[in-house]
Structure 1
């Protein structure tokens, strides 16, 4: 079901919200511009005016979420990077916790389904966009992991970071087996998720 769009939002925000919902459900190729304009209550001219193309619309969906997320990640990383007493857990927390905070509400969780779609569909154009705009964030985290895990080869380190990123995306998208119980608040559930995921990732990253 399409997430209801708040009529008080700007036209641009309504288009972004409708597109995010459609892409999460049907993928980038499966959602047509006609479906998008119908869900957003706008005409095609409005989409073209604000975004120019479907590709640029997709990019804007990612920018409005990932800019803030990765700024938060880098701020958290800056507090621990390069310090003598920094642990793998500290760095993983800087990477994982801001992402879980993003997914705490319905719209954030919806975006993570869009992100999962992006990787599942092997969209090379989108992957290039993500690499060009956010690759520097992963490089900074990778450098800190490499400092703390000098015994790992570059290839092995990349494997482990990739697997941790996949586990995080899975946890954020709500596809997993562990669902929040009705008597557990969203805040408590998110903290439980963070603790379990960080412990799991520490073990995976630190394994000889």
Structure 2
């Protein structure tokens, strides 16, 4: 049975942001954890370092999260819950419709992810996501698969409907490569950088359009 991961780690780009000392205690802890996990990894970032960075005591971490493991999970939930809700909402508008094009489904998959990568702290979170796979944490991988694997399965089902001539294995390969192209675009580390006279919004839209066209050609290649 073919087993392939559809979530690839976006690679680091740029410098990490300083820890935000404003906001609620819970948000300060999450922000500090995101920064430290990106810099040091999950095992390398200690609770002592985290409480110091967030300006809180250990009791506050235990009160809001209960354990370091649950804190790690909440760092992912804070970003991925919203991302995948947006993806599924966009997919629901086009799935199983007779006039749906491959580009429509790709837009639903790609656009929310690129928008996340341009949010405040979005590129930093990409580094955290990279750590989740680079460090081979089976518990964390299981958490991500159990909570977000259904999203990729729904997209894969729609891709399969639109590309019935492809075998399951061939479809998986192509989706895997599309996901890799997306994570590269999310990293912002490619040759195409935003020009000074182009707004962030316009540059992101250009990236979406180019990536959708590129991915559609790859998925639909003979």
1:128-159: CA deviations, max 9, x gaps?
A: 11110111111110100000111111111112
- Which residue of 2 is the match for residue 49 of structure 1? 63
Which residue of 1 is the match for residue 131 of structure 2? 117
The higher relative CO (CA closer than 8 Å, separation ≥ 6) is in 2
Give me the TM-score of the superposition, normalised by structure 2.
Answer: 0.87
1:167 Cα shift?
Answer: 2.0
Corresponding residue of 2:20: 5
Assess, with a 3 A threshold, how the Cα gap between structure 1 residues 104 and 31 changes in structure 2: closer, same or farther: same
Match of 2:142 among 110, 124, 128: 128
Please provide the CA RMSD for this pair. 1.6
Which residue number corresponds to residue 143 of structure 1?
A: 157
Contact 1:80-1:90 within 8 A present in 2 as well? yes
SS of residue in 2 equivalent to 1:28 = coil
Rate the CA distance shift 1:61–1:23 in 2: closer, same or farther, 3 A.
same
CA distance in 1 between partners of 2:48 and 2:17 (Å): 14
> Which residue is 2:84 aligned to?
70
Q: How many residues align?
A: 207
State the 1:189 CA deviation: 1.4
- 2:220 counterpart residue number: 206
* Residues 145/186 of structure 1: CA separation in 2 closer, same or farther (3 Å cut): same
In 1, Cα distance between equivalents of 2:135 and 2:212? 27
Alignment check: 8 A CA contact 1:80 1:91 kept: yes
Q: Match for 2:96 among 82, 87, 99?
A: 82
8 Å CA contact 1:73, 1:95 repeated in 2: yes
2:194 maps to which residue? 180
- Equivalent of 1:92, from 97, 103, 106? 106
> Is the contact between residue 17 and residue 35 of structure 2 (CA under 8 Å) also seen in structure 1?
yes
SS in 2 for 1:30: coil
The 3-state SS of whatever aligns with 2:94 is coil
Q: Which residue of 1 aligns with 2:8?
A: none
Residues 14 and 133 of structure 1, relative CA distance in 2, 3 Å threshold: same
- Taking a change above 3 Å as real, the CA distance of residues 173 and 31 of structure 1, as seen in their structure-2 partners, is farther
Compute the TM-score of the two structures, normalised by the length of structure 1.
Answer: 0.92
Contact in 1 for aligned 2:17/2:121 (Cα 8 Å): no
In structure 1, what is the Cα distance between the partners aligned to 2:27 and 2:181?
Answer: 30
2: CA distance between counterparts of 1:32 and 1:176?
33
